[in-house]
């Protein structure tokens, strides 16, 4: 059976899961090598996954002829330059979100991909989650009629250590977290976000202000064809990893996430009246696996990726406008 040779760049929390999936659960893939700049990290992962090749230098890994495609899971700020390097080496690419943390880098990455004639998928794995996929099917079947309201919330449970902000290598709240909801907004509504208005706060963690980041944010959305919506994001919801989305249409509503008949729910770190997920790796386990399976299958059979570089750029543009609205105030057009 033909297999797609894959190299994974960056095997921290997310890259490790992707590498494990590719090694053990994707029959059409052959995990050829792992690269990570942290001393010993690639070697340790290679030993755990029983593969021979590991590198601390990406260029060396990209020179491997058996590698057809590269999965990129380095911190956000390095995505674009690794995409460029992988494209120049002629590899197809699955890059974690966000595509980049600014428009210029994202455009350079897209140009490199186009010039090299390779394919790029961006890691919006929620599109592969069984619940979101089922919702999409119903929307496409016209079951809720014309979508008019989009509401989504994304709350991470773990309080990121201040070092995560100090290192300045990850995107800020809207770029690294809310970007998933911005992608869902475009995808589920079959529409583009044209305007945003943001309120964001560091009220519960004032130290974040010195890094220019936010602890929580609400972004109102206006879509091109008349629909409206909002996204709320929170970086330290200690009670759970809480992700929910609702799309309301002219004939009904679809709700993804917890919903029950309890009129009031109390949720805290010590427990709550609902059982919720505690981490993205468990909540979206199926989605991460389906995402890499689909990418591998499409690359192997010469098909376009399901989530494109253009999707990565559009979501990034919403994040940039949301950030601008927070900093400068007022309504911002999405460029």
CB 158 within 8 A of CB 237: no
Q: Is residue 123 close enough to count as binding ligand NAD by CB under 6 A?
A: yes
Closest CB to ligand NAD among 199 and 211? 211
Q: How far is the CB of 225 from ligand NAD (least distance, A)?
A: 28
60-66 LR contacts (CB < 8 Å, sep 24+): 60/35, 61/7, 61/9, 61/33, 61/34, 61/35, 62/7, 62/86, 62/89, 62/91, 63/89, 64/5, 64/7, 64/32, 64/33, 66/5, 66/30, 66/32
Q: How far is the CB of 5 from ligand NAD (least distance, A)?
A: 18
Q: Is residue 97 close enough to count as binding ligand NAD by CB under 6 A?
A: yes
Q: Which of 41, 119, 155, 293 binds ligand NAD (CB under 6 A)?
A: 41
Q: Write the DSSP symbol of residue 288.
A: H
Backbone phi and psi for residue 55, each to the nearest 5 degrees, phi listed first: -140, 150
Q: Is residue 14 close enough to count as binding ligand NAD by CB under 6 A?
A: yes
Q: How far is the CB of 18 from ligand NAD (least distance, A)?
A: 9
Mark 256-295 with x for binding to ligand NAD (rule: CB under 6 A) and - for no binding: ------------------------x---x-----------
Q: Which of 4, 7, 8, 15 binds ligand NAD (CB under 6 A)?
A: 15
Taking the C-alpha atoms of residue 145 and residue 282, their distance in angstroms, rounded to an integer, is 32
Taking the C-alpha atoms of residue 63 and residue 67, their distance in angstroms, rounded to an integer, is 8
Where on the chain is the footprint of ligand NAD (CB under 6 A)?
Answer: 9-15, 35-38, 41, 58, 73-76, 78, 96-97, 123, 125, 176, 280, 284
């Amino acid at each position: 059976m033909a297999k797609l040779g894959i190299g994974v760049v960056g095997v921290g929390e997310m890259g490790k899961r992707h590498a494990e999936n590719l090694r053990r659960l994707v029959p059409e893939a052959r995990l050829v090598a792992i690269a990570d700049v942290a001393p010993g990290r690639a070697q340790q992962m290679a030993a755990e996954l029983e593969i021979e090749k590991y590198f601390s230098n990406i260029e060396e890994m990209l020179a491997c002829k058996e590698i057809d495609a590269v999965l990129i899971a380095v911190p956000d700020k390095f995505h674009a330059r690794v995409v460029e390097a992988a494209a120049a080496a002629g590899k197809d690419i699955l890059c974690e979100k966000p595509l980049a943390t600014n428009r210029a880098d994202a455009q350079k990455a897209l140009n490199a991909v186009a010039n090299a004639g390779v394919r790029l998928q961006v890691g919006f794995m929620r599109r592969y989650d069984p619940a979101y996929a089922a919702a999409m099917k119903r929307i496409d079947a016209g079951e809720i009629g014309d979508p008019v309201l989009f509401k989504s919330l994304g709350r991470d449970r773990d309080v990121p250590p201040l070092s995560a902000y100090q290192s300045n290598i990850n995107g800020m709240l809207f770029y690294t977290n809310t970007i998933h909801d911005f992608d869902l907004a475009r995808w589920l509504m079959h529409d583009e976000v044209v305007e945003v208005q943001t309120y964001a706060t560091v009220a519960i963690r004032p130290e974040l202000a010195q890094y220019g980041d936010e602890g929580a944010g609400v972004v109102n959305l206006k879509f091109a064809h008349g629909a409206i919506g909002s996204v709320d994001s929170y970086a330290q919801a200690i009670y759970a990893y809480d992700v929910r989305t609702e799309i309301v249409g002219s004939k009904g509503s679809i709700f993804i996430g917890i919903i029950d008949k309890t009129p009031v729910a109390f949720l805290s770190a010590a427990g709550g009246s609902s059982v919720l997920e505690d981490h993205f790796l468990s909540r979206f386990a199926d989605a991460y696996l389906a995402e890499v399976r689909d990418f591998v299958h499409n690359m192997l059979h010469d098909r376009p990726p399901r989530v494109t570089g253009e999707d990565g750029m559009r979501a990034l543009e919403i994040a940039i406008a949301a950030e601008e609205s927070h900093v400068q105030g007022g309504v911002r057009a999405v460029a």
